[in-house]
Amino acid sequence: MQGKVKLFASLREAAGRSELDWELTEGATVAMLQSNLRERLPGVGEEIGRAWIAVNQQYASPDSQLEDGDEVALFPPVSGG
Amino acid sequence: MSEKLFEITAAPLSIDEVNRRVTSPAAGAIITFTGIVRGTNQGRQVRYLEYEAYPEMAEVVLAQIGDEVKARWEVEAVAIAHRTGRLEIGEASVVIAIAAGHRQGAFEAGRYAIDRIKQILPVWKKEYFEGGEVWIEGPSQPPEPA
C-alpha cells in the first residue's frame, strides 16, 4: 500500500519538506508509519512520535490501520485562533 | 471574500462580511468574536505572526464546530473565517459570527466556538518577536479520533 504524508508547522520545518510518500505492507498502522518516518527523516526524530495524527483529514490515533491511498498528516499541538 | 460559512483564507478578514453571512430574517441577535494579533506575548515584544493551516481539514473542522454549536444552543447560523499567512499586530486572525433568534445562549455559544478552535483546529502560529522566533503550541492532548 502507499499514500501521502503531510507535515505541518515545526514538523515541516524540521523535516525540510511538507509532503512525502509512504509505502508499507498490508495491515500497517500509523505507529508503524511513524517509526518508518523516524528513520527516513533523521532531523525530526522524537517529534514524529508525539505528533497529532489525522488520516484523510480526520483525527486518528497511532493504532489506526492504514489503507491504500490514505493521506496521513502529522503535526504539533494546534495553536490557531 | 467568498460565500463560504467556514473559511480558511489568506485574505484580510472583514467582520462585516462574516456577520452578513449569518444575517437572516430569523436572527434577532448576532454576536461576533474577533481574535486579534497582540503586540506582546509572555513578556516578548511581538513583531508579527505567521499562521499556517491544513486548509482542507481545517474547513471541515470549522464546520464540525458549527454543528457542535447548533447542537448545544438554539442558534440560526454560524460562520467562521480564519486567516493564514503573515499577520501584523492589530490584524484579525479569526472572526466568528453567530446569529440567534434571541440573545440568550449566543454569548456562550461564541465562547464555546473560540475555545474549540483553540483545541482542535489544525492551524499553527509562529511568533516573530524582538530577538527570535518560536512556534506556539496549544493544548497538549490531541482530540479523540472520530
Q: Which residues of B touch A9 (CB under 8 A)?
A: 52, 124, 126, 135
Retrieve residue B31's grid coordinates.
454576536
Distance from CA of B28 to the nearest CA of A (A): 27
Instruction: Specify the CATH superfamily of domain A2-75.
Output: Beta-grasp domain (3.10.20.30)
For B57-110, the pLDDT digits (tens) are 999 999 999 999 999 999 999 999 999 999 999 999 999 999 999 888 899 999
Nearest to B124 among A54, A57, A78 (CB): A78
Contacts 24+ apart (CB under 8 A), B27-30: B27/B76, B27/B77, B27/B99, B27/B100, B27/B101, B28/B100, B28/B101, B28/B102, B28/B103, B29/B99, B29/B100, B29/B101, B29/B102, B29/B103, B29/B106, B30/B97, B30/B98, B30/B99, B30/B100, B30/B106
In chain A, where the domains are located? 2-75
Cα–Cα distance for residue pair B36/B72, rounded to 1 Å: 26
What is the length of chain B? 146
Retrieve residue B10's grid coordinates.
489568506
Nearest CA to A79 out of B54, B110, B79 is that of B54
User: What are the structural domains of chain B?
Assistant: 6-136 (3.90.1170.40)
Helix (H, G, I), strand (E, B) or coil at B12: coil
Confidence of residue B2 (pLDDT cuts 50, 70, 90): low
Q: Which residues of A touch B125 (CB under 8 A)?
A: 79-80
Residue of A nearest to B122 (CA): A78
Residue B42 touches partner A, C-beta closer than 8 Å = no
For A8-41, the pLDDT digits (tens) are 999 999 999 999 999 999 999 999 999 999 999 9
- 8 Å CB contact of B146 and A80: no
Confidence of residue B131 (pLDDT cuts 50, 70, 90): very high
- 8 Å CB contact of A57 and B82: no
Cα–Cα distance for residue pair A67/B123, rounded to 1 Å: 26
Cα–Cα distance for residue pair B91/B9, rounded to 1 Å: 14
